[in-house]
Structure 1
Amino acid sequence: MYKEKEDLHAVQKDYYKDNRKMYVATDCIIFGFDSGNLKLLLFQRRVAPLSGEWSLIGSFVNLDEDVSAAAERVLEETTGLKNVFMEELKVYGAANRDPGYRCISVGQYALIRLNEYDKELVKEHGAAWYDVNDLPPLVLDHGQMVKDALAKLKQKARFQPLGFELLPEKFTIPQLQSVYEAIFQKELDTRNFRKKVFSHNVLVKLDEKDKTSSKRGAFLYKFDHKRYKRLIEKGNDFEVF
């Protein structure tokens, strides 16, 4: 199938050949969560210009792939993950944004679980995790992309259960609260948070406990997607505060 699509593009007539060309890229803003902190995956750029400097992970879009497919390819090649939360952020098209050549980039932000990604792949790409509050200088307009992605994440996490995309399948309520505090960059009242979360009836309490932080331990929960779907069908949002 891939070869057939490639051949089709090879023989496709270029009706716009008299116009100057530009590149289309996609850059992935990949977030993770660890030890109470929101993390961002960065790598040291391997191509000129600006080689060796810290960058988001991206790629040019191939002729035979959709922009979203290119972003999914980049994510899989870097982390080994498929079918994770990823959403288009916006298009970055300033004429002078890339000193390499005229290039527009479609930003995509993704949320992954740090207990699932392929650590060897990340290492091979020279990538590293940074706290979002302690990032090195980034190339091009990647710093703006990160700011925009953080703003979008805060906006959507206010009414959608995006925090669960950063947690293991089984989690404690304190861990869930910690994720949302990292996203919103502020402490949340524990009593009000628990009351609000439980009011949506989308959590399944398990018989297991997490005893890593205390002998007594804390009960583990799972997110129930079917219950959440029913919540949405009733016209409700998943508000956390």
Structure 2
Amino acid sequence: MTDGIAGGTAAAPIAVAVLVVLFSVEDGALGVHLLPAGAGRWRLPGRRLAAEEDLEEAAAEVLAEVFGAEATHLEQLYTFGAAGRGDGVREVAVAYFALAPVGSAPARPGRRFAVDGLPPLAGDHAEVVALAVERLRAKIHYSTLGLRFLPRPFTLRELQEVFEAVLGEPLDKRNFRKRMLAIGCIEDTGRRVRQGNHRPARLYRARHGDRVEIVR
């Protein structure tokens, strides 16, 4: 008896890698962190796994290497394994996406690019980024994922700016605030902050900031 799957043709060597799509919100736009790949192209942070490594631990290590500070979210996205993927050895890549808190220090090395202005990307990395953006934009509608960009207290205006950056479109102020308050995912801290010449704004925080919840 074996632990594997029997039958079929002889298995070819396969390498397993992890890729990390690190999202950030800056200057009103959703961005992603990339590393130079040579020949004018860029790539996502990632590497191949050693035989004894755990997938999520490897992804967390890759994230720590480029970001340093702990990201507020790390989630498995999809597995990419088209025939011909890899250099010399067929490679299967398990992609993750992560969120950098608003106002955090820039990731290093590499640089940030807005998702609507990406440079040429290596291999299938453009497909990986596109799927990650699609997942993030979909999930922000039915979960508290968007709050993970703001682990510190925030105003409703700041929260709306994050959602608009992620979705890439303006939102109606009244409807947005009504929904955020109605679904009960945020709570008033009892504090206020003055922004410009406007009257002091209430500061809110995620009701359950340590996890992502599904909302209706």
Q: TM-score with structure 2 length normalisation?
A: 0.85
Percent of aligned pairs sharing the same letter: 30
Residue 140 of structure 2: aligned partner: 157
Structure 2 CA distance, aligned partners of 1:223 and 1:97?
A: 41
Q: Number of paired residues?
A: 207
Q: Tell me how far 1:135 sits from its aligned partner.
A: 1.0
Matches within 5 A, 1:95-110: 95-110=83-98
Worse-superposed segment, 102-111 or 211-220? 211-220
Q: Which has a greater percent of strand?
A: 2
Q: Secondary structure at the match of 2:66?
A: helix
Q: Tell me how far 1:100 sits from its aligned partner.
A: 4.8
Going from structure 1 to structure 2, the CA distance change for 1:215 and 1:186 (only over 3 Å counts) comes to closer
Residue 181 of structure 2: aligned partner: 198
Structure 1 CA distance, aligned partners of 2:29 and 2:71?
A: 23
In structure 1, runs of 5+ residues without a counterpart are 1-15
Equivalent residue letter for 1:238: V
Q: Tell me how far 1:20 sits from its aligned partner.
A: 3.2
Q: TM-score with structure 1 length normalisation?
A: 0.77
Q: Secondary structure at the match of 1:225?
A: coil
Residue 21 of structure 2: aligned partner: 29
Going from structure 1 to structure 2, the CA distance change for 1:20 and 1:51 (only over 3 Å counts) comes to farther
Residue 121 of structure 2: aligned partner: 138
Q: Which has a greater percent of helix?
A: 1
In structure 2, runs of 5+ residues without a counterpart are 1-5
Equivalent residue letter for 1:191: R
The one of 190, 196, 206 equivalent to 1:223 is 206
Q: Does the CA-based 8 Å contact 2:36-2:43 persist in structure 1?
A: yes
Q: Secondary structure at the match of 1:63?
A: coil
Q: Secondary structure at the match of 1:158?
A: helix
The one of 20, 29, 39 equivalent to 2:31 is 39
Residue 3 of structure 2: aligned partner: none
Q: What is the Cα-based RMSD across aligned positions, in Å?
A: 2.4
